[in-house]
Amino acid sequence: MLELRLVQGSLLKKVLEAMKDLVTDANFDCSATGFSLQAMDSSHVALVALLLRSEGFEHYRCDRNITMGMNLNNVSKLLKCAGNDDIITIKADDGGDTVTFMFENPKQDKISDFEMKLMDLDSEHLGIPDAEYHAIVRMPSLEFSRICKDLSSIGDTVVISVTKEGIKFSTRGDIGNANIVCRQNTTVDKPEEATVIQMNEAVSLTFALRYLNSFTKATSLSETVTISLSSELPLVAEYKIADMGYIKFYLAPKIED
Amino acid sequence: SGVQLSITEFYRST
């Protein structure tokens, strides 16, 4: 039996909004560690990894590891029926073919439940080893979102370079080209407004902007984003989910013809 | 412009 009670239901709503445009169907895995998901987009260019740790739930019961295949668009539709202040409980029976989402409003005078059929998904799980990255940049998530949006009005791809000068985002298109440099800046009022650059080695990689724009749907989950880059690896954009875990997006680079 | 690599070229199935 599975029963997960999340007081801050809005988190789950935001998580679904962050993933549903990138991934259509995915398996949610539930174990003693937490509620997790790993899925690739249909073209296998990007991957999303979600972890909501068991400690972050008010009540977490998972008698045995369970995998639940769901259409993320349908889950998102159901979660739109939950208020932002609602408590969300996810329930499933071992071996059952449905999952139930229950929403309780803060006054506890309205309780809704939605039962959804699970899907049998044949999804591939990739092993992602810990890696040493050439550069790790932490910056305000809203700033990153703004940069991706602004550059995609000019070009389709972005070259992200990290040097001692800072992190540079460059694009080119029919109307011209653009460069945005963010320097390290730790003299800010709040730590989440800082741009912090850790660089072991200069790195420069090219990425498709449409995927980065899709990742920025997670902006409301975290005030900061951490971008990890290595010349031999996909980019990782990590949004921490306060007290619970993270949502990480991996993006394979583009290379010269 | 350029060739888009796939995630599966970097990480293997478990």
- Tens of pLDDT along chain A (257 residues)? 999 999 999 999 999 999 999 999 999 999 999 999 999 999 999 999 999 999 999 999 999 999 999 999 999 999 999 999 999 999 999 889 999 999 999 999 999 999 999 999 987 899 999 999 999 999 999 999 999 999 999 999 999 999 988 999 999 999 999 999 999 999 999 999 999 999 999 999 999 999 999 999 999 999 999 999 999 899 999 999 998 999 999 999 999 87
- Could A250 and B6 be called an inter-chain contact, meaning their C-beta atoms sit closer than 8 Å? no
- Could B5 and A255 be called an inter-chain contact, meaning their C-beta atoms sit closer than 8 Å? yes
CA angle at A12 for the pair A99 and A194, rounded to the nearest 5°: 160
CA distance A11 to chain B (A): 27
Distance CA A61, CA A1 (A): 7
- Could A40 and B7 be called an inter-chain contact, meaning their C-beta atoms sit closer than 8 Å? yes
Residue of A nearest to B4 (CA): A254
How many angstroms separate the Cα of A113 from the Cα of each of A46, A77, A78, A91, A231?
33, 13, 9, 10, 48
Q: Which two tokens stand for residue A8?
A: 């801050």
Residue of A nearest to B8 (CA): A44
Q: How many CA atoms does the CB half-sphere of A42 hold within 13 Å? A: 4
Q: Which two tokens stand for residue A121?
A: 């998904």
- Could B7 and A206 be called an inter-chain contact, meaning their C-beta atoms sit closer than 8 Å? no
Neighbours of B8 (CB within 10 A): 15
**Left, alpha or beta for A201 (phi > 0: left; psi -120 to 50: alpha)?**
beta
CA distance A125 to chain B (A): 5
For A245, residues 6+ apart whose C-beta sits below 8 A from its C-beta are: A34, A36, A50, A51, A52, A53, A56
CA distance B1 to chain A (A): 8
Looking at the predicted complex, does its ipTM rise above 0.85? yes
Q: Which two tokens stand for residue B3?
A: 């060739």
